[in-house]
Amino acid sequence: MKLIIFNLVIFTICLFAVVTVSGKPPRFDLSLPTEVLFKQFIMAFQKKYSLKESTERADIFAQNVDRVKVYNQREGAPIYGITKFSDLTPEEFAETHLMKNFNPTLKQRNIQEERRKKQRLFQLPSGFTIPTDFDWRTKGAVTDVYDQGMCGSCWAFSATETVESQWFLAGHTIVDLSVQQIVDCDKGRGDEGCNGGDTPTAYQYVMSAGGMDSDQDYPYTGEDDQCAFDPKKEVAHISNWFYATTDKNEIEMQEVLVAKGPLSICVDAATWQFYVGGVVSHWCGEDLDHCVQIVGFQNYTTWDFAVKQIWLVRNSWGADWGEDGYIYIERGGDLCGIADEVTLPVV
């Protein structure tokens, strides 16, 4: 009887043994039995299932826990774990949070033409040097982390976030702009709202529309809807855009970021479904399916006391994902395709 009570106490302790820090996503001990982890997951993220769905999601969850262990082994560091997406198959996650048919604009353009365009729109100041650390968040040029929900609108978020930063750096008050406007109104350029799009064509739309409404006037719904842009309520606009690099040069990216502002990028984010924190250093795909924003870079000391040069990448899956809504990517190796499509609008 005492043994039964003791085992029950241990099980109860395990059930509630989720590491939480105020305002941060919970951390889970992957050495625990999968059924215990699934119960912790349900409690931590307030999941609700029917009886049938609970069985299905428990099976998917168990497969994902095994997948996470393989990912960490490949990466050589415990940067992947249980997230709010751990009850989705990779296919379901891609369908609801990534872009299925992303076709980067750069591949369709003349590289020499884009290089000339960059030279015309961007010149380094005399005596410019790249600092060791740089973060536009500390200078007020970055809005809070957004959550795109179950809509493949990352491209619209990435473009909007970077327009917000440029509008602020041009001397205006920073304002949350309407992502929903781009989702609803940017049509005919290959952009398809919740089904995906591209940042250069989003900039082209903003230029042709004459600007953007605020999120307050045209709030985000996470669904495709009829265009409701009101030119009378326009609060920010741009005049042009350019590629920060056309040959995957991360030094060029640093230069443009420091001199001009946060950068829009598109990446392979398939493994990000399970990212919980730390530096992605070794293992990431290169099939671009997600667009985000780089806000800075720094030297980062990892859990094993290694110092790595990283990009500070802002995602649009909410602040309860990753490093308060951010992911850290090691610089210099075009990891996740981070240097493949890097753009910046011009106010």
Distance (Å, whole) CA 194 – CA 140: 29
Fold match between 2-97 and 105-346? no
Q: Choosing from 72, 194, 315, 336, which is the catalytic residue?
A: 315
Phi-psi map region of 149: left, alpha, beta (phi>0 left; psi -120 to 50 alpha): left
Does the CA dihedral 202-203-207-208 come out positive or negative?
negative
Predicted structure pTM score: 0.92
CB atoms within 10 A of CB 169: 17
For residue 212, what pLDDT is reported?
98
- Tell me which H or E stretch contains 241: strand 240-245
Please give the backbone phi and psi of residue 263, each rounded to the nearest 5 degrees, phi first.
-115, 145
For residue 125, what pLDDT is reported?
87
* AA identity, residue 187: K
Q: Choosing from 151, 154, 194, 291, which is the catalytic residue?
A: 154
CATH number of 105-346: 3.90.70.10
Helix axes 34-45, 2-16, angle to 10 degrees: 50
Q: Choosing from 72, 97, 151, 290, which is the catalytic residue?
A: 290
Q: Domain boundaries in the chain? A: 2-97, 105-346
274, 75 contact by CB (below 8 A)? no
Question: DSSP of 265-282, one letter per residue?
Answer: EEE--GGGGGB-SSEE-S
> What are the beta bridge partners of residue 289?
none
Rounded alpha-carbon distances, angstroms, from residue 6 to 10, 11, 29, 32, 147: 6, 9, 21, 17, 43
For residue 16, what pLDDT is reported?
47
DSSP state of 219: -
Per-residue pLDDT of the chain (347 residues; tens, 9 = 90+): 444 443 444 444 444 455 444 457 788 999 999 999 999 999 999 999 999 999 999 999 999 999 999 999 999 999 999 999 999 999 999 999 999 777 777 666 788 888 888 888 988 988 999 999 999 999 999 999 999 999 999 999 999 999 999 999 999 999 999 999 999 999 988 899 999 999 999 999 999 999 999 999 999 999 999 999 999 999 999 999 999 999 999 999 999 999 999 999 999 999 999 999 999 999 899 899 999 999 999 999 987 888 999 999 999 999 999 999 999 999 999 999 999 999 999 99
DSSP state of 325: T
For residue 18, what pLDDT is reported?
53
Annotation says 154 is catalytic: yes
For residue 21, what pLDDT is reported?
45
What is Dmax (Cα atoms) for the chain?
Answer: 81
Cα of first residue to Cα of last residue in the chain, in angstroms, is 73
CATH number of 2-97: 1.10.287
Rounded alpha-carbon distances, angstroms, from residue 340 to 47, 252, 255, 261, 271: 37, 12, 16, 18, 18
SS3 236: strand
- Tell me which H or E stretch contains 205: helix 199-209
Annotation says 315 is catalytic: yes
Please give the backbone phi and psi of residue 97, each rounded to the nearest 5 degrees, phi first.
-130, -10
Distance (Å, whole) CA 43 – CA 189: 43
- For residue 300, give the nearest of 330, 337, 321, 320 by alpha carbon: 330
Annotation says 249 is catalytic: no
Triad 169, 173, 175: Cα angle to 5°: 100
